[in-house]
Amino acid sequence: MKNDLELYDLNAECWWNENAKIYALNHLNQPRFSFFDRYVNQWQGLNVLDVGCGGGFSCEFMARRGAIVSGIDQSQKCIKKAQEHANDNYFAIDYTYGFAENLPYESRSFDAVICVDVLEHVADVNKVIAEIHRVLKFGGVFFSIQLTKILNLNLL
């Protein structure tokens, strides 16, 4: 069952407002990446994709660590806000409007793919996982956290 994603469009303008409820998601990056860092000890120079990037919290977190970051989301309003914030903060993040079921990237493009709080929203999880597998380089790593589940797949 697909969740209503209108919430993200409605909150896009206040995504980076520290007083907005949605900003609480930004505080999840540190504990998430404490886990991810067990599998990636150096983000510097890695080509990384954030699937379902929203307003760009994880994208900017990875960019600060020196990753080459792309983000994709099906909310055009969130993508617009993410790009504005990245530009204002001098991050060269490649944001794209699109859907996880049909990623507009070349096969074997990314060293790592991050997909947090997204899989519970998609209509076809298997198609999304297949697309992520397609864009990951051999030996790349896929990180996903959904509600209370943590999934780490090394796709060789």
pLDDT at site 156: 37
Q: Where are the beta strands (DSSP E) in the chain?
A: 47-51, 68-73, 94-97, 110-116, 136-146, 149-155
Output the CA angle 151-95-19, nearest 5 degrees.
80
pLDDT at site 42: 94
Chain segment 13-47, per-residue pLDDT in tens: 888 788 878 777 878 888 889 999 999 989 999 99
Question: What does the alpha-carbon distance between residue 109 and residue 123 come to, in Å, rounded to a whole number?
Answer: 24
pLDDT at site 44: 97
pLDDT at site 148: 39
**20 and 11 Cβ atoms separated by less than 8 Å:** yes
Residue 149 has pLDDT above 50, yes or no: no
pLDDT at site 27: 81
Residue 1 has pLDDT above 70, yes or no: no
When pLDDT is averaged across residues 133-155 and rounded to a whole number, the result is 74
Output the CA angle 35-36-37, nearest 5 degrees.
90
When pLDDT is averaged across residues 71-94 and rounded to a whole number, the result is 96
pLDDT at site 154: 46
The tokens of 57 are what?
């919290």
The tokens of 18 are what?
């520290």
Phi-psi region of 134 (alpha: psi -120 to 50; beta: other; left: phi over 0): alpha
| Eight-class DSSP state of 57 | H
**Verdict on whether the full-model pTM lies above 0.75:** yes
Chain segment 83-92, per-residue pLDDT in tens: 999 999 999 9
